[in-house]
Structure 1
Amino acid sequence: MKLKGAEKHFWWHFRQITDSKNIPVELPGFTSIDSEVDDEFIAMLVAKVSIIPSIYLKETQITDEGVKLISNVKQLKDLTLMKHENITKECLPYLNKLTDLEYLDVWRTKIRLEDLGALTDLKNLKELYVSATDDDDESDRDAILEKIIKAEETLPGCAIRTHYV
């Protein structure tokens, strides 16, 4: 079946696909760095592609809504959402649905160490990168260490990494 409208435009630019039967249901990964990829792009992608083991997004235009869409991807083990000002702790319930995750990078988003208590279902998470504070102020290392210890209680077996520690 031939694709129409916005969907036709999306799939042609994404993979030069003109027939819906050629749209893959699985991709080995998806990467976008410093790009115009936004929530609408993610919506088009995950509407047809249900399995993506690795997604790497750095400095794109996605927001919490894009994370909500990503939360429906199956078999996602590695997720990088680095440097996104519009990703906040409001998306944590959606991240928590990604129970296959082993690696998560939310560094330089609005998600902070103290927010990680919401990620109670990420039992397979082995490594997490997160900003320690809003202003990246290293002056209170003891407070940062306390937050890391608390986060490690929520995510046992996960190495939690911040800029300072």
Structure 2
Amino acid sequence: MKILVPVDGSPASMNAVEKALEIAKKYGFSMKIISSVSFDKVPRYRRNEKLWQQVDSGLPETMMTEEDEIAIQLKKRAADLLESIPREFDFTGVELEKELLFGDPYEKILETAKNGKFDLIVMGNRGFSKIKRFFVGSVTQRVISEAPCPVLVIHAEAEEE
């Protein structure tokens, strides 16, 4: 059995890792932790996976644009997050896989769940108020409505508004 855990660094997503790990240890599941980088605010990289894969491949600083620097930081932050999780939690006895993805988070979560034939998605809810969730929309809401498997949503303390 396989659990998919999308993370974004929020307290709710870290609580989701903790809960998924508890389930995996209890029932012998394997886990895959993913983080998806979306460059929607960096026009040069928007929807260009080839550029994204090359973003930190050693461009000379003199050739880097501000967009390149932003993209590098976004990718580095997500990679650092994935690397930090095994240091923060005890995965002894649990098969763990990590993957950094490019694209809209909800699309990548659904695509990974479907293609990987996952049995459960455990993810955080960012703690937005009901009004904000209505207007802003939510990755969690979209995943719940379209997931090919059950979704367990883990809450964090409500964030300041």
The two structures have a TM-score, normalised by structure 1, of 0.26
Which of 1 and 2 has higher RCO (CA within 8 Å, sep 6+)? 2
What TM-score, normalized by structure 2, do the two folds share?
A: 0.27
Higher helix share: 2
